[in-house]
Structure 1
């Protein structure tokens, strides 16, 4: 898994063969197939591990945040962005390779987005919503914006500072959820 974590992040899933994975991990092809049915299954396991860890980090940040919507939004976003960007490989797997892998991670990606949308909905549930659009759809839109911000951070020649990413994401989430 450690070899895949690096290779799937760069050069990427499509460019990483079983042979290269096994060579990097110093295991035989047979040993690989005793653990995984193929490189797609390994990518899914890596993606799901990253998602589970990030969900736990964000949930903890939301629990510890002051009880205002704005504070919860800021805490959750900062926790997610800092977690994702703390290791470029994690950010690439969660935000680039998940899309580049084609249908391999479609279901896993949808489960992840759904889990994050539920976290957003739960964090905002006790705050009034009158006259606002469907909170789930708003959460999905804001999550999409956050993903695009992280892709920009990954691909930009001069990546924006983390604090700027957090500020923009907080602005987007705050406007859409009604906290600012």
Structure 2
């Protein structure tokens, strides 16, 4: 836990990678963190047709061709962030529980806490992997323009109890919605008109 939320950093042995048709290279997982707000529809940093979600989980990957994470921050293809919407639900998300447990163990301490060795971040993905993509920046300072965003269309759930624990760290750490500023958003799926 940090003053602005939490982050789960990978260790040197991490082999999780991301590749997709819209990505120019293979990207290696660096960390995951989340953003949330104070209400059911005001915690995400991305919106679909003007609708926000309770929280948004970010998997941050770095482009291995640059050799190290810090060198990626000034490259337009340096990072890719996989964003997953989280929608409030009555039941705990058991796949998110290792993060919640780690946060409970770290509250009030200044050192990092290891998550359960069997924590599998892939279990946090929704069943359907349709996505939106665009080139943009990190959503926290200093807002480096180095990210190829992959925003999954379908949310996963998070319980109100789990959200309340996140809000104990900080009530709100999401950035307000910003204009696209000419960025082109693409999608991996086709729209089907309803009759």
Structure-2-length-normalised TM-score: 0.25
Q: Of Structure 1 and Structure 2, which has the larger fraction of its residues in helix? A: 1
